[in-house]
Amino acid sequence: MEETRLTQLGREARGFDSPEAAVLERVPNPHAGEAYLVRFTAPEFTSLCPVTGQPDFAHLVIDYAPGDWLVESKSLKLYLASFRNHGAFHEDCTVAIGRRLAGELSPQWLRIGGYWYPRGGIPIDVFWQTGPAPQGLWLPDQGVAPYRGRG
């Protein structure tokens, strides 16, 4: 396994201007080979509408079964925050985050649920996953209710 060099954890780390510029860091998984689930919840995710420039808000739930790597959580937080000034549609944001994490971590499995708050009266929920979940992996419900004034 390659050596890990963390540049953000335990140090002052400024935000990134764009998701492309953001650095996602990873650490070795001490339980590689074991099927278990890791969940990150970002209930205050924001990005910008690429047409109007107005803010869009989502509740993101990221579930993954790690392979050899875990995402370092501070770098994930900074990566997600880099979308605050990024203009993209809901579908693009959600799928791009899932693909970037899958590409960086090579997990056994990953899924992301993007539960977007309404714009123009219509909530848009976006779901993406890498494929079927490993057999025997416990998959709890993502816990976000269908839209009825989410809170």
Cα gap 43→86, rounded to integer Å? 18
- The active-site residue, picked from 17, 56, 68, 92, is 56
Largest Cα separation within the chain, whole Å, is: 49
Do strands 125-129 and 26-28 pair parallel, antiparallel, or not at all (unpaired)?
A: unpaired
C-beta contacts of 21-24 below 8 A and 24+ residues apart: 21/82, 22/75, 22/78, 22/79, 22/82, 23/75, 23/78, 23/79, 24/71, 24/72, 24/75, 24/76, 24/79, 24/100, 24/101, 24/104
- Catalytic residue, candidates 49, 68, 92, 125: 49
CA angle 30-32-79, nearest 5°?
Answer: 75
Asked if 56 is an active-site residue, the reply is: yes
Q: Is 49 a catalytic residue?
A: yes
Active-site positions read: 49, 56
